A and B are shown apart, each in its own frame.
Chain A
């Protein structure tokens, strides 16, 4: 009897040990990205007195919000072992949709918001269906979707920007500041709060819900999940739909910030988003990744761009540096994994 108790105890200790180790590994992965972020901030603070000024910090956060939200959307899909090249133009498409509902049709703001998110979910459903039911590889399916949405955005907007002048409260979504109303000295724009809210929600879904569990299961071994009786197709479609809905939120944030929906905007955003995901330590082969890492990855990118701009590095060189950082981040992650 006492023998059995001892066994149970040691297994429990084992369990705790494994859980602790896992938490440590995860922390280490994020730590690397986080340390890089701190180093960047320190370097730029040292290099320029303008960098740490409140207005500049707020500008960085503001600039991170859109890319950050898109990167969160991309993270979900990438963890399943897929890829979504359409997040950028989907964002534009949802922004245009909001414009059509609010400005062209003069409908109330809540309906415009629902329309944008709904359009995102719908496009995600379509991408997900093409990928899971028609078995088109995600790269191709979302490449096609990217072009389709780019074209549709131009079509429904009549190829010109839509302004939100008839909805005066619209810019508040992104540029207003609830925090600033309470504590005037830190006017953090609402767009940033939206990013944090979306990230917190996505993180919760990934870690604590069935949908999140299947996200990792699909990326880890889709066939095994199927053979275990998981309705793989339905869950995959749900994940793309969720990702699409998050792109809709990004569409609202960017339209609100510009107070207009620009049909030509959006292409190239998908690559920035994927870059943030990768810098944050999510594996492109699926099964591994965190939302916190992605948010840190997005912050690293905007801190870098902002800092280089303050140091007056020419735009074209900023792009070169960004590219090098992506390669360096993935290389560092691979070395870390090899050592582990």
Chain B
């Protein structure tokens, strides 16, 4: 196989950060080369250099053997390099075809657009991808998965021989990931070299040919995917062996019930969901995307309305009409989208921790007691091990794992005894993940009742004392946690369509006790 990209001695400094130190990377035609590393390891920076978004301070880039100067997205595109960004970058108000050819629309005289040719060209690319999609749909109205496909089609429209995919599966469900992998295999067969960045370890075995690991801006090693165990890759990424202890399921059957819900309903999204949660227990929620897990959590938290259902907290029936009611009842909800719903990114750690409990820091004249806020913040920084230079650091400068800890601190301070975590480790490094897991286990040990919603089955299995599985808005079964439960059993329940329900689910429920 021919080498199509060779990057050597790449240096890049940003103010205060040495982002890339003598980094290197190579890519062969027709391979999927996974680029692995924790957040901040320099993967994205290296790929932004390869796609012309950043210019390196020094170093050499060869494409097809020739040294190239990539000084802008256009030059990189001309060199046959396409990138699909982590944050989808489509223009929501434009159509699919208009998005694909933005910046190089077919034109008539006087800057007039040739919309017909534009749509024709887009349709041609879809056909070559075996993709059935309208070229005139508005991008913003498509599902994330389809938007992802549009991004890929766009990259292909540049006749890219080199395709960089930055976390392409972050928002896809299993079926959509399978579709994506089909397209990747097809591209491989056509000789396209693909750089694949992902945090999902299980995908490496399925799709990657080689794996390059980076750490702290440096090149660590390149290995063949087929004969390298995942644990070895993780060890290279974090620079030490991560020992994930096996889950010990405590006996919580004697603990009082903290939360019980009966017959929750809303349209097709939530269909007759009932379950209970004891103090000290971690209840995992598994299911495919769109199964209704987040909907149930948001409904319990009062963020979305319910049509029917009863909610009991500590045995007492309560009415939750708004998040305010839920918080008063001691329920905290940690959204999957921390940046949008969990944190005030521009404010400091201290203010973020105090944000939900401002009343306790306010005197009768409405003045804030900064001193008390500082003491509280420092207490939680110590207790949760939040890595931050000080309590006045802006939250946006913290890593994902530490931001998550700030959100946890906020809800702990609010005295929430029932905590609902929606995708608690999304976008968080492998190393920091085990820390968050440990924290959740400790919270449970201290008597908090915890719900964990996660799309990653290993995560659900790693944490849950019991596992609730949902499919199409229904709770299809509750499985016991621990080693007895296999991923296959969960997947079975997660794909249990309506007609199949009844006996099987009942069996599973009985088994969970």
Interface, chain A (partner B; CB < 8 A) = 7-8, 10-11, 14-15, 17-19, 22, 208-211, 213, 216-217, 219-221, 223-230, 287-288
Contact = CB atoms under 8 A, between A and B. Distances in A.
Contact of B132 (A11, A208, A210, A230): A11
Interface stretch (B134-142, B236-244, B429-437): B134-142
A220 B91 contact: yes
B137 A18 contact: yes
Contacts of B94: 213, 216-217, 220
Given A14-B134, A227-B53, A210 B93 contact: no
A10 B132 contact: yes
B85 interface: yes
B146 interface: no
A221 B137 contact: no
Given A208-B112, A216-B94, A229 B104 contact: yes
A18 B53 contact: no
B352 interface: no
B105 interface: yes
Given A15-B135, A287-B93, A210 B105 contact: yes
Contacts of A208: 112-113, 115
B460 interface: no
Nearest to A13: B134
B90 interface: yes
Interface of B: 53, 72-74, 77, 85, 89-95, 98, 102-105, 107, 110-113, 115, 119, 123, 126-127, 132-138, 154
A213 B90 CA distance: 14
Contacts of B111: 209-211
A237 to B, nearest CB: 15
Contact of A213 (B85, B98, B135): B98
Contacts of B127: 8
Contacts of A223: 89
Nearest to B135: A15
A15 B134 contact: yes
B332 to A, nearest CB: 28
B136 A217 contact: no
Contacts of B133: 11, 14
4 closest A-B pairs (Cβ-Cβ)?
A: A220-B91, A224-B89, A287-B93, A229-B74
Given A210-B105, A210-B111, A213-B98, A15 B91 contact: no
Nearest to A16: B136
Contacts of A10: 132
Contacts of A8: 127
A15 B98 CA distance: 13
B413 to A, nearest CB: 34
Nearest to B77: A229
Contact of B73 (A211, A217, A221, A227): A227
A10 B127 CA distance: 13
A17 B91 CA distance: 21
A221 B94 CA distance: 10
Nearest to A25: B138
Contacts of A226: 73
Contacts of B137: 14, 18
Contacts, number: 91
Contacts of A18: 95, 134, 136-138
B103 A229 contact: yes
Contacts of A228: 73, 89, 102-103, 154
A15 B122 CA distance: 11
Contacts of A229: 72-74, 77, 103-104
Nearest to B132: A11
Nearest to A221: B91
24 contacts: A10-B132, A15-B119, A18-B138, A22-B95, A210-B111, A211-B111, A213-B102, A213-B105, A217-B98, A217-B102, A219-B93, A220-B92, A221-B89, A221-B90, A224-B90, A224-B91, A225-B103, A226-B73, A227-B89, A228-B73, A228-B154, A229-B74, A229-B77, A287-B91
A18 B139 CA distance: 11
B94 to A, nearest CB: 6
Contacts of A213: 94, 98, 102, 105, 113
Nearest to A235: B103
Contacts of B102: 213, 217, 224-225, 228, 230
A224 B100 CA distance: 11
A225 B101 CA distance: 10
A287 B77 CA distance: 26
Contact of B85 (A209, A217, A225, A227): A227
A287 B92 CA distance: 8
Contacts of B89: 221, 223-224, 227-228
B113 A210 contact: yes
B118 to A, nearest CB: 10
A22 B90 contact: no
A7 B132 contact: yes
A209 B123 contact: no
Contacts of B77: 229
Nearest to A222: B91
Contacts of A217: 91, 94, 98, 102
B93 A11 contact: no
Contact of B91 (A19, A209, A211, A216): A216
A287 B99 CA distance: 13
A85 to B, nearest CB: 24
Given A7-B132, A229-B77, 16 more contacts: A11-B126, A11-B134, A15-B119, A15-B135, A18-B95, A18-B136, A18-B137, A208-B113, A208-B115, A210-B112, A213-B94, A217-B91, A221-B89, A221-B90, A224-B102, A287-B91
Contacts of A221: 89-92
Contacts of B112: 208-210
Contacts of A220: 91-94
B107 A210 contact: yes
Given A210-B113, A227-B85, A288 B91 contact: no
A319 to B, nearest CB: 33
Q: Kindly name the residue among A14, A223, A228 whose own CB sees the greatest number of chain B CB atoms within 10 A.
A: A228
A11 B85 CA distance: 27
B45 to A, nearest CB: 15
A216 B98 CA distance: 11
A251 to B, nearest CB: 26
A126 B91 CA distance: 27
A287 B135 CA distance: 19
